[in-house]
Homo-oligomer: A and B are copies of this chain.
Amino acid sequence: MKNDIKQKSILLFEKKGFSETSIQDIVETLGVTKGTFYYYFTSKEQLLMDIHVSYIDDLLERQETVRLNQLSNRKKLEELIALLIIDIANHGPSGKVFFREMRHLCEDNAREVKRKREKFRKNLEAIISEGIAQNEFKKELEPGIIAFAILGVTNWSYQWFNPSGEISADRLARVYSDLIFNGIV
């Protein structure tokens, strides 16, 4: 039941937004009563936090796998980009909620999630730095800004990319990698 509530909530939050989705909406979809919701979650915000933590923890874990394998930094970066894009196909709604609704977390929870988000970004930045040191990337790059740019390209996809449309997720990931590695000129 707890997981049912969570999954349905993700879909509703994605479609209507966190503030616009009432507990009533959630439990009605599941055919249970509000009491049931509060048996499993202490508040609406706690549910949102739960969703956030699952999402970012999963992402961090998979990033770790990439980070620790024996590939070149260029290859690692390519894999991370693919990971993020392909995630839209697999966990699109979670991702949208994650990127849009963080504002509704209470201060303490927001801080915790922010820390994890930044850890992901810092890891990305570290791969870029490493790549520069290994002469895989241009030496005049600023790793911090480049990391933000890459996250911009990938995260923005959540706003428009439809994985069941003309372009496949794999394809999009390759196009983006090529753009980031080689530019358009």
CA distance A184 to B104 in the complex (A): 36
The smallest C-beta distance from A102 to any residue of chain B, in angstroms, reads 10
User: For this complex, into which size category does the number of interface residues on chain A fall?
Assistant: 35 or more
* CB-defined contacts of A40 to chain B, threshold 8 Å: none
The smallest C-beta distance from A148 to any residue of chain B, in angstroms, reads 6
Task: Tell which of A145, A151, A161 has the most Cβ of chain B within 10 Å.
Answer: A145
Assuming the A-B contacts A17-B103, A155-B156, are A182 and B179 also in contact, with contact meaning beta carbons closer than 8 angstroms in the complex? no
The smallest C-beta distance from A71 to any residue of chain B, in angstroms, reads 15
* CB-defined contacts of A167 to chain B, threshold 8 Å: 145
A154 interfacial by beta-carbon distance below 8 Å: yes
Interface residues of A (CB under 8 A from B): 17, 19-20, 74, 100, 103-104, 128, 131, 136-138, 141-142, 145-146, 148-149, 151-157, 160-161, 167, 172, 175-176, 179-185
